[in-house]
């Protein structure tokens, strides 16, 4: 209603102001009458020849103009913010990829596409698939061995799981690989259900005719490493995540025989929204071969 009053003053008549707002003159008159009742002020003098602002209306007009101008600036600012948000590439990645691979990918992306803005959401592999399926992100990166239904995917390399223990653990320093049957009989420190690390471990044990026996389920790699370093028991983690702890002897890696602990990584996207532009560039970078690993291999 304030902008209608401003239009009356600028157009010189209620009829012309109504036309500018694409409403009828009676509708415009009703709106201004409602404003006058709300303010308990007479803003217009109505005569057979037209309407003009009262002295109170002239004073109020100055305030109304400022409010209308600020409202217009607010609309402009909101549209700019929405446009800016639309330029941000929304992606999601499971924890291992987010912590140990995505920063390198992002650095490479900024070298070829400087100024591109990327927002990363982190969760386990099941959560990442849900974000992609719901359209909340354009691209997802998961560690789960089984691909989520209803999504397209592309292999982007992989890693392997390793068993790590405190250096004083009886399994530490073994020269011969530990049989997978012995591993499965031990209560292990593992990630939570829905994690790609957990799913890969369960699949490897199932392929060997065995079942997982969790001693402790934790929702982060950092928590699992801390528990293993504290001597809580053997933990199964991504090889990528324990390079530092193995190098400084806070953890010892146990070679395993009789199980294939390798796992693939995948980029996933919605069936109807293939990666384009920045998303396609990021996908290409993620698919490049990684530098050779520096941790010695265990026996499959």
Helices then strands, counting H and E runs in the chain, come out as: 12, 13
Give tens-digit pLDDT for 61-76: 788 778 877 877 777 6
- Secondary structure of 145-200 as H, E, C letters: CCCCCCEEEEEEEEEEEEEEECCCCCCCCCCCCEEHHHHHHCCEEEECCCCHHHHH
Token output for 200: 């890969």
DSSP state of 239: G
Give tens-digit pLDDT for 89-101: 999 999 999 999 9
105 vs 119: CA distance, rounded Å: 13
Give tens-digit pLDDT for 173-192: 888 999 999 999 999 999 99
**What CATH class has 88-286?**
alpha beta
Q: Pairing mode, if any, of strands 252-254 and 151-165?
A: antiparallel
pLDDT band at 80 (very low <50, low <70, confident <90, very high): low
- The H or E element containing residue 54 is none
Give the pLDDT of residue 293.
52
For the chain, the structural domain boundaries read 2-84, 88-286
DSSP state of 240: G
Question: What's the mean pLDDT in 276-299?
Answer: 73
- C-alpha distance from residue 193 to each of 89, 199, 200, 201 (Å): 28, 7, 11, 11
Give the pLDDT of residue 298.
41
225 vs 67: CA distance, rounded Å: 57
Residue of 83 and 125 predicted with greater confidence: 125
Token output for 252: 């010892």
Give the pLDDT of residue 79.
61
Q: Output the CATH code of domain 2-84.
A: 1.10.10.10
Give tens-digit pLDDT for 124-165: 999 999 999 999 999 999 998 888 888 999 999 899 999 999
Give the pLDDT of residue 37.
85
94 vs 128: CA distance, rounded Å: 6
Q: Is the pTM of this model over 0.75?
A: no
201 vs 213: CA distance, rounded Å: 11
Contact 105, 282 (CB under 8 A): yes
- Residue in this structure with the two tokens 């400084």, named with its chain if needed: 248
- pLDDT-above-90 percentage for the chain: 55
């Amino acid at each position: 209603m304030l902008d209608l009053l401003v239009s009356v003053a600028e157009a010189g008549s209620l009829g012309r102001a109504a036309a500018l707002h694409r409403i009828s003159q009676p509708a415009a008159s009703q709106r201004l009458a409602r404003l006058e009742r709300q303010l308990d002020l007479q803003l217009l003098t109505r005569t057979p020849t037209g309407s003009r602002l009262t002295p109170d209306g002239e004073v109020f007009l100055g305030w109304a103009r400022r409010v209308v101008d600020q409202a217009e600036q607010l609309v402009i600012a909101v549209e700019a913010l929405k446009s800016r948000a639309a330029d941000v590439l929304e992606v999601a990645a499971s924890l291992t990829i987010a912590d140990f691979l995505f920063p390198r990918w992002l650095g490479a992306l900024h070298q070829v596409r400087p100024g591109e803005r990327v927002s990363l959401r982190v969760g386990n592999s099941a959560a990442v698939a849900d974000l992609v399926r719901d359209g909340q992100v354009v691209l997802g990166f998961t560690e789960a061995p089984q691909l989520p239904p209803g999504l397209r995917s592309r292999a982007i390399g992989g890693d392997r799981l390793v068993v790590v223990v405190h250096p004083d653990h009886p399994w530490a320093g073994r020269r011969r690989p530990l049989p997978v049957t012995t591993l499965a009989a031990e209560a292990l420190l593992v990630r939570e259900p829905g994690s790609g690390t957990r799913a890969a471990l369960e699949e490897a044990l199932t392929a060997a005719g065995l079942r997982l026996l969790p001693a402790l389920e934790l929702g982060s790699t950092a928590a699992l490493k801390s528990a293993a370093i504290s001597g809580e028991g053997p933990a199964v983690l991504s090889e990528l995540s324990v390079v530092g702890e193995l190098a400084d002897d806070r953890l010892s890696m146990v070679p395993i025989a009789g199980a294939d602990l390798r796992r693939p990584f995948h980029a996933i996207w919605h069936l109807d929204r293939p990666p384009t532009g920045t998303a396609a560039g990021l996908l290409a970078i993620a698919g490049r071969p990684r530098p050779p690993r520096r941790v010695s291999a265990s026996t499959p």
